[in-house]
């Protein structure tokens, strides 16, 4: 059993060291629940196994892969099928462009420009996911705040993503508050060599289908929509889908739900006043 446990630790370290960013010896030792001294012995064993173990200028370790892994090849027909399948989940999902980029790069199909431009969001989601998994603090670099009208770094403890990966739920260390951070407003993410310190204050509150977090009050919304308004609402706010139903023996649809803010639905109605009948707002 001891040898099996040792093998599992080595495999776990290899997997960690092959993923960016590089890891400190403190981080590695904590992940496999051992001392720094034992962690160093595991690193020596990984070198002996033939892995190209490197240490950067910050004394953090990583395994350098001299040759890229061979990617799966998709035919144009397979690529088109996968593209349609992914896009059917709703265009407002930050993972969509990252996954599409990988599909395009492993096929003969030319990548669509806007997907390539937004694919960096997939990297941000990936880094934040790792921080959540290992309970690390992160620096959201040059975060563009709409409410504060500022651009600055934020030190946070990331907790979870909203359903469509548009926003990050996180505890902001400086303010001592749980906040939502729009993924598109994050320039980049830096994983810090520091674990969560305020987990007892973490609070997860899912936003409404329009992306607004709970504010202490809710508003009941009941609308009747034309086919045009129905299709546009599903396209712009795909999370409203479960709250929409067709009205029998008509070509109209009904939306009933509670929201945390009326701003987005009011904005939507203003653009389609002739297509929407307000029952309750």
**Taking the mean position of all CA atoms in its chain, how far away is CA 142?**
17
Residue 60 or residue 117, greater confidence? 60
Mean pLDDT lowest among 27-36, 53-62, 258-267: 27-36
Q: What's the pLDDT tens digit per position in 182-232?
A: 888 888 899 999 999 999 999 877 778 887 777 778 899 999 999 999 999
58 and 82 co-located in one domain: no
Residue 75 or residue 221, greater confidence? 221
36 and 95 co-located in one domain: no
**Cross-sheet strand order for the sheet of 276-280:** 244-246, 253-259, 219-225, 276-280
56 and 80 co-located in one domain: no
- Whether 68 has a pLDDT exceeding 50, the answer reads no
226 and 256 co-located in one domain: yes
Residue 258 domain-assigned? Answer: yes
Tokens representing residue 220 in the block = 């009941």
CB within 8 Å of 53: residues ≥ 6 apart = 17, 43, 46, 47, 61, 62, 63, 64
Residue 8 domain-assigned? Answer: yes
Whole-number pLDDT of residue 185:
87
Residue 173 domain-assigned? Answer: yes
pLDDT band for 109, please (50, 70, 90 cuts). very low
d(CA 53, CA 28): 14
CATH number of the domain where residue 44 is located: 1.10.10.10
191 and 137 co-located in one domain: yes
Mean pLDDT lowest among 2-16, 81-95, 137-151, 156-170: 81-95
Residue 179 domain-assigned? Answer: yes
Mean pLDDT over the full length of the chain: 79
Residue 124 domain-assigned? Answer: no
Residue 103 domain-assigned? Answer: yes
Whole-prediction pTM: 0.48
Whole-number pLDDT of residue 195:
94
pLDDT band for 2, please (50, 70, 90 cuts). very low
CB within 8 Å of 148: residues ≥ 6 apart = none
Mean pLDDT lowest among 39-48, 189-198, 211-220, 271-280: 211-220
Whole-number pLDDT of residue 247:
93
Residue 232 domain-assigned? Answer: yes
Whole-number pLDDT of residue 125:
79
Q: Are 136 and 194 in contact (CB under 8 A)?
A: yes
Q: What's the pLDDT tens digit per position in 243-270?
A: 999 999 888 999 999 998 898 899 999 9
- Whether 88 has a pLDDT exceeding 80, the answer reads no
Domains: count for the chain: 4
Q: How many percent of the chain have pLDDT more than 70?
A: 74
59 and 80 co-located in one domain: no
225 and 264 co-located in one domain: yes
244 and 191 co-located in one domain: no
CATH number of the domain where residue 180 is located: 2.30.30
137 and 197 co-located in one domain: yes
7 and 47 co-located in one domain: yes
Residue 68 domain-assigned? Answer: no
pLDDT band for 75, please (50, 70, 90 cuts). low
Give the residue numbers spanning the domain of 237: 219-280
Say what the alpha-carbon torsion angle 127, 130, 132, 138 is, to the nearest 10 degrees.
-50
145 and 194 co-located in one domain: yes
94 and 137 co-located in one domain: no
């Amino acid at each position: 059993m001891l040898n099996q446990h040792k093998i599992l630790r080595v495999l776990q370290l290899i997997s960690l060291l092959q993923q960016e960013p590089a890891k400190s010896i403190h981080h590695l030792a904590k992940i496999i629940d051992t001392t720094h001294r034992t962690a160093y012995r595991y690193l020596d064993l990984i070198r002996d196994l033939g892995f190209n173990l490197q240490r950067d200028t910050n004394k953090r370790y990583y395994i350098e892969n001299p040759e890229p892994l061979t990617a799966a090849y998709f035919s144009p027909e397979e690529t088109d099928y996968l593209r349609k399948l992914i896009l059917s989940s709703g265009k407002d999902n930050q993972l969509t462009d990252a996954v599409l980029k990988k599909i395009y790069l492993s096929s003969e199909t030319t990548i669509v420009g806007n997907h390539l431009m937004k694919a960096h969001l997939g990297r941000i989601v990936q880094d934040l996911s790792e921080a959540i998994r290992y309970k690390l603090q992160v620096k959201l670099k040059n975060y563009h705040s709409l409410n504060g009208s500022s651009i600055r770094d934020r030190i946070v403890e990331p907790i979870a993503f909203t359903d469509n990966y548009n926003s990050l739920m996180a505890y902001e260390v400086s303010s001592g508050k749980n906040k939502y951070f729009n993924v598109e407003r994050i320039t980049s993410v830096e994983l810090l060599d520091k674990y969560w310190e305020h987990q007892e204050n973490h609070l997860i509150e899912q936003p409404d289908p329009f992306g607004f977090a709970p504010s202490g009050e809710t508003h009941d919304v009941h609308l009747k929509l034309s086919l045009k308004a129905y299709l546009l609402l599903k396209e712009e706010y795909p999370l409203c889908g479960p709250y929409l139903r067709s009205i029998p023996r008509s070509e109209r649809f009904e939306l009933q739900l509670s929201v945390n803010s009326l701003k987005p639905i009011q904005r939507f109605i203003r653009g389609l006043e002739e297509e929407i009948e307000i029952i309750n707002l």
